[in-house]
Amino acid sequence: MAGDRRPAGARTSPTERRILAAAVHLFAEHGFDGTSVQQIVERAQITKGGLYHYFGSKQDLLQEIYQSLISRQLQDLERILAAGLDPPATVRAVIEALVISTAEHIDEAKVFARELNRLDPARLAAVRAERRRYHTAFRDLIERGQREGVFSRVAPADTVTLIVFGMVNEMPRWYRADGPKPASRFAAEVADFVLTALRPR
């Protein structure tokens, strides 16, 4: 089965966080296959026994990286949906939260984009189910706006969702924290673009 089942955010001890930070850095730099447990242990300044006390395997680390990124983004989403704003304000808040949190965790996002297929089937299914929850919630939001007439039917809600998540998932390819444009500005531009396309005629 899918290994560790503690919810994201449960990895709160300083040691666990140090191990995860080391793993994210090394996976982003050298790939999952190109990183050994020994390298993680050295970077995190811990013993192998210490690592295995917290994580059963390299696969556990990889899943924890995905799980914590997705869980954080799902929590943001639920918080925004619970605020009960109108659909345009909700879509703007969701896009901005997603772009900014991806920028803030760009190494995790890079590992996610490149190494997802290194997970074993059960773990992969668990991660994909979480991601699907996020996509479905976003698509439902667009669909509701289209039904209520606050969004145009310029494109089906599914297609709008693929456009938004395509852009976000590609951020690891080009986003640099020290680049010319802060993530918040880019996020606002994307939200403007999407909301303009969706504006009723």
Binding residues vs a copy of itself (CB under 8 A): 31, 33, 114, 117, 152, 154-156, 159-160, 162-163, 165-171, 173-174, 186, 189-190, 192-194, 196-197
Token code pair at residue 85: 């704003």
- For residues 37 and 42, what is the distance between their CA atoms, to the nearest angstrom? 9
User: By C-beta, is 21 or 154 nearer to a copy of itself?
Assistant: 154
User: By C-beta, is 5 or 174 nearer to a copy of itself?
Assistant: 174
Evaluate whether 15 touches 7 at the Cβ level (below 8 Å): no
- Closest approach of a copy of itself to the CB of residue 40, in Å: 20
Evaluate whether 90 touches 191 at the Cβ level (below 8 Å): no
Long-range pairs of 48-56 with CB within 8 A, sequence gap ≥ 24: 50/15, 51/19, 54/13, 54/15, 54/16, 54/19, 55/4, 55/19, 56/3, 56/4
- Closest approach of a copy of itself to the CB of residue 47, in Å: 30
User: By C-beta, is 11 or 87 nearer to a copy of itself?
Assistant: 87
User: By C-beta, is 75 or 169 nearer to a copy of itself?
Assistant: 169
- Closest approach of a copy of itself to the CB of residue 14, in Å: 32
